[in-house]
Amino acid sequence: MTAARITVNGAKTPLAPAAPHTTVLDFLRERGLTGTKEGCAEGECGACSVLVARPGVDKPTDWVAVNACLVPAAALDGQEVVTSEGLATVGEALGAPAALHPVQEEMAVRGGSQCGYCTPGFVCSMAAEYYRPGRCAHPAAHPAADTEAGPEAADPEHGPNGFDLHALSGNLCRCTGYRPIRDAAFAVGAPADEDPLAQRREQAPPAPVATAYAQDDSEFVRKDTLAATLELLRERPEAVVVAGSTDWGVEVNIRARRASCVVAVDRLPELRELRVESGHLRIGAALTLTEIERRLDGRVPLLDGLFPQFASRLIRNGATLGGNLGTGSPIGDSPPVLLALEASLVLADADGEREVPLADYFTGYRQSVRMPGELIRAVRIPLPLSQVTAFHKIAKRRFDDISSVAVAFALDIEDGVVRKARIGLGGVAATPVRALTTEAALEGEPWSAATVEAAARVLRGEGTPMDDHRASSRYRSAMLGQSLLKLYAQTTEAESS
């Protein structure tokens, strides 16, 4: 086992003397790379984003943007990081002439920066989309008019160059305004053949390395197999398990939480499988949401409804289903969807594995049947899938917000009759719950306005909604019923069109 180090902008940089809880943000800034900024310290503003070389979906390596404020530096042991400074200097180090990176150039000439605080983060997130394999001209996006306001697209969230604006959903700007930033994003072309970061995608990403990094009374550990990890958790049941650190990183930054032992599972190959088994889809608990989205490529429509509304692309590049379920939060976005899909969880410890229906997993507020030393290994979704599905997230912002209420539907409707109904709810009880009474009110009944209106009244009474700063209990109850009415309207509109 070698000393922990990270390749930063092409240079191998020792992790020492950083403490195990030190974030990538602080690690970089302490080494003079101050383009990486701290804005919120909880993954909401994107001022800290950097690029990390990760296993690719369409190519061996993808350049992925992540929030440096959340990820422990020790979690990137053996990996490659490129900062906003490095976008130009990496090419220079490899023999290319010194010049602004194309993304930096477009941001400059189109007025995408004013105070400049958020600009490096925007540049890194934009660069990740710039290098995304498969980005090409978008068929629904085209300039409708060459006006002073810039090209307007039929699909406003995609540029004529295929740039997906969701890539910037985790980046905030308070002074420039988003139009010139959007214009810069829609103006970037394809990477040149000689672009060193584009060429890097054709090579394998850094292999996961076993890490045992300790300073003072705390340590960060990454084992190279699931068996070794489970043995460690048997010995250290108090250890904090992390994958993307999108939740634990907030605890470290905002609440000053520290752990004597942090165990990383994000690179374990046994937790990163995605395959179709006999009658089931199996999704590894340590695959990021972005990896799941791109590997499934639309095969699970209900998950497709979830992904754009789950935080931001920066968070989805690190967040995992295992982490979202492991926290046990009643307002997590994935549990309602997985409840509607009748998912089960594969739990593993040093003695073996067991499978638990997700409907039986949660036992109380942030509590579950998972025992000390147990990990979520995979999520299993039964096949075939229901044909009528929808995910409705009610929040104050359209994207990148915590839900007040989340509702997921999966219905089988045959000959105008509801044969099966599964409804998952979030934000209306101490745990995510199934709307069992409403499901019973729908099953066996005609899919009609009268049935839906009656079931919507039942749905308003599901759970135990509470008043808090996000919404009142009356509002939450009203939104539950309205969500079912919306689903009915959507299905009837689709039939008539």
Q: What tens digit of pLDDT does each residue of 307-342 get?
A: 999 999 999 999 999 999 999 999 999 999 999 999
Beta strands 80-82 and 5-8 are parallel
> Is the residue at 218 inside a domain?
no
46 and 131 assigned to the same domain: yes
Bridge partners of 408, per DSSP, are 391, 424
Inside any domain, residue 213: no
- State whether 256 and 367 are in the same domain: yes
Q: What is the band of 176 on the pLDDT scale with cuts at 50, 70, 90?
A: confident
Enclosing domain of residue 482: 388-496
Residues 191 and 248 in one domain: no
pLDDT greater than 90 at residue 199: yes
| Cα–Cα dist 443/417, whole Å | 8
Q: What is the CATH number of the domain that holds 357?
A: 3.30.465.10
Q: Which of the listed residues 326, 350, 385 is the one where a domain comes to its end? A: 385
Nearest alpha-carbon partner for 301 in 378, 382, 390, 399: 390
* pLDDT of res. 90: 62
Query: Is the pLDDT assigned to residue 493 strictly greater than 90?
Result: no
Is the same domain home to 164 and 266? Answer: no
Whether the ω angle into residue 432 lies within 30 degrees of 0, i.e. cis, is no
36: in domain:
yes
Residue 69 confidence (pLDDT): 98
**Which residues make beta-bridge pairs with 418?**
413
Res 138: pLDDT: 67
Concatenated DSSP letters of 457-490: HHHTTSS-----SS--HHHHHHHHHHHHHHHHHH
Residue 457 lies in a domain: yes
- Cα–Cα dist 364/325, whole Å: 13
CATH assignment at residue 448: 3.30.390.50
Would you place residue 134 in the very low, low, confident or very high pLDDT band (cuts 50, 70, 90)? Answer: confident
Residue 348 Rama label (left phi>0; alpha psi -120 to 50; beta): beta
Mean pLDDT, to the nearest integer, of 66-74?
98
pLDDT for position 142: 46
- Encode pLDDT of 248-277 as tens digits: 999 999 999 999 999 999 999 999 999 998
Strands across the sheet containing 11-14: 11-14, 5-8, 80-82, 49-55, 61-67
Measure Cα distances from 200 to 4, 13, 161, 377 in Å: 22, 19, 22, 31
- Beta strands 362-364 and 405-414: pairing type? unpaired
* 78-108 CB burial, b ≥16 within 10 A, e <16: bbbbbbbbbbbbbbeeeeeeeeebbbbebbe
pLDDT at position 196, please? 92
Residue 217 lies in a domain: no
* pLDDT at position 296 over 70: yes
What tokens appear for 106 in the block?
Answer: 């477009």
In a shared domain, residues 134 and 186: yes
Task: Verify that 441 and 380 share a domain, yes or no.
Answer: no
Contacts for 478 with CB less than 8 Å, ≥ 6 apart: 460
Backbone angles phi, psi at 7, to 5 degrees: -85, 110
Residues 397 and 475 in one domain: yes
* Structural domain ending residue among the three candidates 207, 242, 268: 207
Distance CA 463, CA 454 (A): 17
The per-residue pLDDT of the chain, averaged, comes to: 93
Question: How far is Cα 133 from Cα 135, in angstroms, rounded to an integer?
Answer: 6
Domain tally, the chain = 3
CA distance 267 to 244: 10
We report the CATH number of the domain holding residue 53 as: 3.10.20.30
Q: Looking at the structure, tell me whether residues 11 and 109 fall in a common domain.
A: yes
Could you tell me if 334 and 454 lie in one domain? Answer: no
Is there a single domain that holds both residue 330 and residue 435? no
Same domain, residue pair 296 and 320: yes
Residue 153 has pLDDT above 70, yes or no: no
pLDDT at 177: 84
Share of the chain above pLDDT 90, in %: 86
Report if pTM > 0.75: yes
371 lies in the same domain as 399 = no
Residue at which a domain ends, from 207, 232, 262: 207
For residue 216, tell me if it sits in a domain: no
Percent of the chain with pLDDT over 70: 94
> Would the pLDDT of 119 be above 90?
yes
CB-CB contact of 70 with 245 (8 Å): yes
**Closest to 317 measured CA to CA, from 246, 258, 366:** 246
Find, among 128, 102, 273, 304, the residue nearest to 189 by Cα. 102
pLDDT at 435 over 50: yes
β-bridge pairing 218-222 and 261-264: parallel
Asked if the structure places residue 300 within a domain, the reply is yes
Q: Of 263, 260, 186, give the one whose Cα is nearest residue 226.
A: 263
Closest by CA to 335, choosing from 407, 235, 262, 265, is 407
The whole-number pLDDT of residue 146 equals 42
Q: Give me the residue label for tokens 């395959």.
A: 275
pLDDT digits (tens, 9 = 90+) for 31-64: 999 999 999 999 999 999 999 999 999 999 999 9
pLDDT, one tens digit per residue, over 213-233 is: 999 899 999 999 999 999 999
